[in-house]
Amino acid sequence: MLTECFFGFLVIAFTKWIYDRLTQKRCTVPGPYGLPLIGNMHQIIKSPLPLLEKWRKTYGDVYKINVAMSDVVVVHGEAIYEVLVTKSDDYAGRPPNERFGIVNDYQDILTRSADAQWKDYRKIAHQGLRQYGTGFDRIEQISMDEIQDCVERFDREDPFDPYEDMYLTVANIALIVLMGERFDKNDDMFKLTVKVDRDSLRVFGINCAYMDILPWTMNIPHESGRIFKEARVGMNTLKELCVKKTKKTFDGDNLRGVFDAIFKEQEKRKNTDQPLSDTVFKGISLNLIIAAIVTTSTALKSMIAYLLDYPDIQEKLHKEIDDAIGERIPTLEDRKRMPYTEAFILESLRFMSHIPFAIPHETMVDVTLNGYYIPKGTQVWTNLYSLHHDERYFKSREALTRSSMGLHHDERYFPDPWTFKPDRFLDDAGELIPTDQRKLLMPFGAGRRVCVGEQMARVRIFLFMTTMLQRYEFLPEKPGCPPNYDPRDGVMGTVLKMKDYKIRVKKRD
């Protein structure tokens, strides 16, 4: 029966493929040939980053591959700026793939194409996050307690892997910010959050992309199918729990976190012509949880690794912290007076580019990009990883500034985009170069679909890093042997991570 279904599916899929090719106005973007049905999927599953770079060199900044029977236009270089920023509206769709559907049936921010509802969902999330940024002093206090506890646990003699501790701390901080509550690591809510986060990472990785064309494989008993099922059940339970718990304990005079702010908005909209349904509330809640944890914790993991190889950079960070903060607890206000630390964070986000292709976009109308015709409904990947290591822009501060201002950018300097160099984001006076001069740095994406949690992530990273560096000097497990933090050797899943490593710490006087 299973075999018959499979062959039945192949015949239908093949007929559709032929039909599409004969009837549609074709995308004129060039690209490598793939196999029937699976396209180039078998090639990119193994190590997509170097392969996409190879194709860029062959076909140019805009080329087409085929993944799971869909054309995917891959964009590199400054064309990314056109896709994400200058013609943002035209590219602000999301492909309606099967895996996206399990998040909340497209009734959420992350997976929904840009329409009036999506705009409204983003507004609701922003309102909540903004209130947190300005109003919730208590949250800052509890988050800092959580970070301090984590940093306290680093006080060990033996070498240790800092990641798990940081990951759990970031997860708890996300829950504090969103729900206004600090959870015990053994609390069911906390354990479920961590499980959903880890399962979704596996489900949305490139090696589960085949489920988009073979959705029935989600239901057959095999390893990925099992994870998929667990992820779906976990997500449903978690979002249900978040909304139920928020409503049950809500006190309008004492907003505890972002979900309270969203619930308040829901109450306000009751009996209006724009109500906020529980389904959407759940979708937004789940988005904010799953997007917040692994991104921020993997970023912290790489940041510590760079310090181990660059004692001089670590020394500059220590000095800035000593001068600007001293021994008191770091605060958000300190960021303004700490350009070197900010440059270090920007360079770290550039260097690893943790979400290498952003999240897939889709064209909302027929478009022309670099002279090629791309029909409405085509999937588009913006290769931020490649952009952030593109020698045309990241070889020197001058090149970055010039290209960001739209001036010529094709001179060849010595290649150093693979060198970790916070100074590239500082001017001659040691101040952070203005945002409009680093437009091609887009670790959070840009334009209409820019990351909703950018500010929250940057604040968390700043507070975490300054608290750790205030207390310790970070050293490699074996003197003179820092871990391999080269992104080209990173582990590629939904996010790009470096491999695990151990550190030693020395308490600072």
Nearest approach in angstroms of CB 249 to ligand HEM is 21
Taking residue 58's Cβ as centre, other Cβ atoms within 10 Å add up to 10
Alpha-carbon span 202 to 226, nearest angstrom? 11
Q: Which residue in 493, 70, 3, 41 sits closest to 220, CA to CA? A: 3
Nearest approach in angstroms of CB 286 to ligand HEM is 10
To 10 degrees, what angle do helices 163-179 and 278-309 make? 150
Alpha-carbon span 467 to 148, nearest angstrom? 7
**CB pairs under 8 A, 24+ apart, for 415-421?**
415/391, 417/388, 417/389, 417/390, 417/391, 418/389, 418/486, 418/488, 420/306, 420/309, 420/310, 420/313, 420/347, 420/348, 420/351, 420/485, 421/347
Residue count (the chain): 509
222 token code pair: 């095999």
Nearest approach in angstroms of CB 454 to ligand HEM is 7
* Beta bridge partner(s), residue 491: 497
Taking residue 454's Cβ as centre, other Cβ atoms within 10 Å add up to 14
Alpha-carbon span 227 to 230, nearest angstrom? 5
Q: Where are the alpha helices (DSSP H) in 204-277?
A: 210-213, 223-249, 258-269
Cβ closest to ligand HEM, residue 169 vs residue 287: 287
Nearest approach in angstroms of CB 80 to ligand HEM is 10
Nearest approach in angstroms of CB 358 to ligand HEM is 4
Cβ closest to ligand HEM, residue 41 vs residue 358: 358
Taking residue 415's Cβ as centre, other Cβ atoms within 10 Å add up to 11
294 token code pair: 């692994």
To 10 degrees, what angle do helices 339-352 and 454-471 make? 110
Cβ closest to ligand HEM, residue 299 vs residue 346: 299
Interface residues toward ligand HEM, by CB under 6 A? 109-110, 122, 287-288, 291-292, 295-296, 299, 354-355, 358-359, 443-445, 449, 451-453, 456-457
Residue type, 241: L
Nearest approach in angstroms of CB 281 to ligand HEM is 14
Alpha-carbon span 385 to 358, nearest angstrom? 9
Q: Where are the alpha helices (DSSP H) in 310-352?
A: 311-324, 339-352
Cβ closest to ligand HEM, residue 165 vs residue 427: 165
Decide if 85 contacts 406 (C-beta within 8 A): no
Burial of 377 (0-12, 13-18, 19+ CB in 10 A): middle
Taking residue 436's Cβ as centre, other Cβ atoms within 10 Å add up to 9
Cβ closest to ligand HEM, residue 43 vs residue 464: 464
HSE-CB at 42 with a 13 A cutoff on CA atoms is 7
Nearest approach in angstroms of CB 161 to ligand HEM is 20
- Which residues make up each annotated binding site for heme? 451
Cβ closest to ligand HEM, residue 403 vs residue 494: 494
Nearest approach in angstroms of CB 85 to ligand HEM is 10
HSE-CB at 105 with a 13 A cutoff on CA atoms is 6
Nearest approach in angstroms of CB 465 to ligand HEM is 12
3-state DSSP assignment of residue 497: strand
Cβ closest to ligand HEM, residue 262 vs residue 355: 355
Alpha-carbon span 391 to 418, nearest angstrom? 9
Cβ closest to ligand HEM, residue 170 vs residue 505: 170
3-state DSSP assignment of residue 71: strand
- Which residues make up each annotated binding site? 451
Residue type, 181: E
Backbone angles phi, psi at 35, to 5 degrees: -85, 155
Nearest approach in angstroms of CB 458 to ligand HEM is 8
Cβ closest to ligand HEM, residue 180 vs residue 443: 443
User: Taking CB positions, which residue lies at the least distance from ligand HEM?
Assistant: 453
Cβ closest to ligand HEM, residue 62 vs residue 456: 456
Cβ closest to ligand HEM, residue 307 vs residue 384: 384
Nearest approach in angstroms of CB 225 to ligand HEM is 26
Decide if 424 contacts 441 (C-beta within 8 A): no
